[in-house]
Structure 1
Amino acid sequence: MSNIHDNEIISYEVDLRKHKIILHTIQYRDSACTKLIFSDVLAHLFETHLEGSIILDVEEYELSHFIQDNRELLEKQKNSCWPIDYGNFEELTEKLIKEQYAYYVISSSYGLNGWILAKEYEII
């Protein structure tokens, strides 16, 4: 587990112009503030927004998992060029790899969970 395990999510920012997402959290042990910063964000999906959301972990998965986990959503949004314009799933995967995106999955003990496609992730 990472050093964000059991952190409470206080708020988050989505800056579409700067392609950045910041999750503001506090550590359960000492109430220290911690920021999870995702840069060069292409797309994201958050679910179960609840006050008191607790992070279990943020893990990076292979991009093939992104396609598998989100096949229905990708098919539904394809004609809207989301998350980018592509012909088929193989082409989408190739483009994401070429552009060096990573698939970050946020799992929770309670509340907010989801995923982010981004090029960088850091904890401050």
Structure 2
Amino acid sequence: MLNIYDNEIISYNVNLKNNTININTLSEKGQNITIIFSGVLSHMFENHLSGSIIFEIGKYELSQFFDDNRDLLEQQKDYCWPIEYIEIKELEEKLIKQQYIYYVISASYGLNGWVLAKKYELLSSN
């Protein structure tokens, strides 16, 4: 089983057309591991720093996404972000029906944030 704990983030790529995010990491033992999010609807990353270290990626219920981001959703609603909706309850129902998952990236140092996606997997390139 691949482990990303304490991996350094080397780079990441957001492909808006294909709805994917790939995060390339390097373990302390020199193993290259790519974190792949597919079916991405939206994401938010903060603290982009060279040498960023991953603590964990947690999988949470969508209800937690709404608790964590209610103010942001209200601010961005008129800009159709993350998709068009009138009431937050409507957005919640759409995301549940479309089977999105709330992934939270926690850092020991540097980059952290979240991704709304349908799938998350790890791939070793060594």
- C-alpha separation between the residues in 2 aligned to 1:114 and 1:56? 12
- Structure 2 residue aligned with 1:16: 16
Root-mean-square deviation over aligned CA pairs: 0.9
TM-score (norm 2): 0.94
- Structure 2 residue aligned with 1:27: 27
Matches within 5 A, 1:79-118: 79-118=78-117
Instruction: Say if 2:50 is the partner of 1:54.
Output: no
Provide runs of 4+ in structure 1 moved above 2 Å: none
- Which amino acid is 1:76 matched to? Q
Tell me how many residue pairs correspond in the alignment: 122
Deviations 1:29-82 (A, max 9, x none): x11100000001000000000000000000111101111111111111100110
- C-alpha separation between the residues in 1 aligned to 2:79 and 2:106? 28
Structure 2 unmatched ranges of 5 or more: none
Percent identical residues: 58
Structure 1 unmatched ranges of 5 or more: none
- Structure 2 residue aligned with 1:72: 71
